[in-house]
Structure 1
Amino acid sequence: MSDPMRLAHLILLVLLALTPLRAFAFVPPAQIKLTTQEWGGAAPADVQAVLDSVITVISPYIAQRKFGTILVQRSEDAPRAMYEKSADGEYIVQVQASGNHWARIAYQFSHEMCHLMSNYDLAPNNVSRQQWFEEALCEAFGLFTLERMAEAWAENPPYPNWKDYAPHLREYSQNNLQEAHRQLPKGMKLPAWYQQYREVLRADPYAKDRDLNEVVSNQILPILSATPQGWTAINYLNLGETGKDLSLETYLGDWLENSPPDLREPVSKIKALLLTSQ
């Protein structure tokens, strides 16, 4: 790992250690700024309201970090969190969904927010050969976020007439969870499945059009959701030795070691789920 990268890891670890996980007053951890005004017929103000709602519902799991202004633009091909920042050092996130498909927009944006939370820019371009796991984690986070938004919109939607849309957010999440390709083959445990696809995942974090990521996503989602603050553990990923090819055991071991004690249980369970033969 280069000296600048090692210093960035060290600084982030210190900041996370010094910052309390829970705040007494809500302060948005990011400010969304749309840099695209054409959203397939949807009003930019409405898209902004959806993205702001995502930030609100994920704020309890963001370890009180501050991401500043996040520039959001529309992409014609795929959603992504860009490695390169703006001239002013702002994160740039692209969303592919458009129109009044609020669930899809929220789903894509929350997935990309998970990448920011997971320190994706400290481990760029699949250098560790374990980026597939980050993708699976962020897929799970996107589905979890939709469930939280459904709860929030049922009581306090961005606009009063959006209250009826709340069930659609949950339906979108549940429909994804139930897709056939996301299920483990009957009778197969995750460690055996992982060994079967290990080299495929290491070589391509988006293999089989993300279908493999989504199998793992379905397995880890209930583990993180079972602990009230479990999702906060995302903020401690990619803080280990990420400047080289790593085994999954080392990668997840670093995640466990860098997580604070009260967040280690879900991380430990995920590590065991993937690597412990049964």
Structure 2
Amino acid sequence: MIEKFVFEGFEEDELDLVKLVTASVTTTIFKNIGLPTLRSQCIHIVRDCSKEAPMYVSNCGYEKIIVNSKHAFYWQYAYQISHELGHLSTSSWKRHPRTDGHMWIEEALCECHSLIALQEMSKITGPLQVGAIDYCSILDEKHNDVEVAPEWFSQNKTALSQATSLTKEAFYMSRYIKKSVPADSILRDNRLINQLTVGLSFNEYLTEWQNLSGDEVSVPKALMMLALE
């Protein structure tokens, strides 16, 4: 699907499984929606453990993802690379830095990419399956102690709109979206963000998004349900 990845900062003894993980999550994310228009023929994946957090690099002229997963922590790598591929899928570099209060939506959806990719990996017999099952179990126990409902959303909407990274509130929203919307629709609706107008109000943004999506069950519709007063 992608002709070439360039891996930097990985050790030789882990590279085969890193490549296998990358192929697995890439297939899960892009098999039905294809790739967006890329800034380069290669996607550079760099491990730099000095970085505080993984990132999809927006301010360069080619596709670059930085991870900080530990040596041979393949499922941590899967979690990180899936999230950043979510940003790549929707060409987030076009909106960076985003200042319209909707960045939390992209972050929550990219968290969903990680959950979806690892869940799919856990179903496939092979060297990645057992570890993926264990990692999914760990993730399932996190950020599930809050029931996201209209009242909760109303109380936390300001905090969400101020978020520029994956905050606690955005984690909760990712779990809500994952439970409310089929995986294929999440991946497709995330891609549609690159067509949306930046700077709209929340309700205008969801309306434009839903008009593009057209699905009866979709991410914008799920968010509309929370915004009802």
* Fold-level similarity (TM above 0.5): yes
Residues 1:113 and 2:85 are matched in the alignment? yes
Give the drift of 1:70: 0.8
Counterpart of 1:252 (choices 198, 206, 211) is 206
Residues 1:194 and 2:153 are matched in the alignment? yes
Q: Equivalent residue for 2:145?
A: 183
Report the Cα distance in structure 2 between the residues aligned to 1:149 and 1:66, rounded to whole angstroms.
26
Report the Cα distance in structure 2 between the residues aligned to 1:212 and 1:82, rounded to whole angstroms.
24
Structure 2 unaligned runs (5+)? none
Report the Cα distance in structure 1 between the residues aligned to 2:135 and 2:225, rounded to whole angstroms.
26
1:73-132: CA deviation from partner (whole Å, max 9, x where unpaired): 01322101011234xxx2110111121111110110000001111231222112221101
1:175-217: CA deviation from partner (whole Å, max 9, x where unpaired): 21222x44325xxx522222212222222233xx721111001
Q: Equivalent residue for 1:131?
A: 103
Aligned amino acid, residue 192 of structure 1: E
User: Map of 1:92-241 to 2, 5 A cutoff?
Assistant: 92-152=64-124, 154=125, 157=126, 162=127, 165-179=128-142, 181-184=143-146, 189-206=148-165, 210-225=167-182, 228-241=184-197
Report the Cα distance in structure 2 between the residues aligned to 1:93 and 1:32, rounded to whole angstroms.
11
1:22-80: CA deviation from partner (whole Å, max 9, x where unpaired): xxxxxx0463211x2345x8533332222122212222243454544211101322101
Alpha-carbon distance change, 30 to 137 in structure 1, aligned in 2, over 3 angstroms: farther
Q: Equivalent residue for 2:224?
A: 272
Report the Cα distance in structure 2 between the residues aligned to 1:228 and 1:199, rounded to whole angstroms.
29
Give the drift of 1:268: 4.3
Q: Equivalent residue for 2:46?
A: 73
Does the aligned pair in 1 maintain the 2:159–2:169 contact within 8 Å?
no
In the comparison of the two structures, how many residue pairs are matched? 225
Greater C-alpha radius of gyration: 1
Does the aligned pair in 1 maintain the 2:192–2:209 contact within 8 Å?
yes
Structure 1 unaligned runs (5+)? 1-27
1:218-276: CA deviation from partner (whole Å, max 9, x where unpaired): 10002332x6555222110142221x3x32222222222233x3x45313432333212
Higher-helix-fraction structure:
1
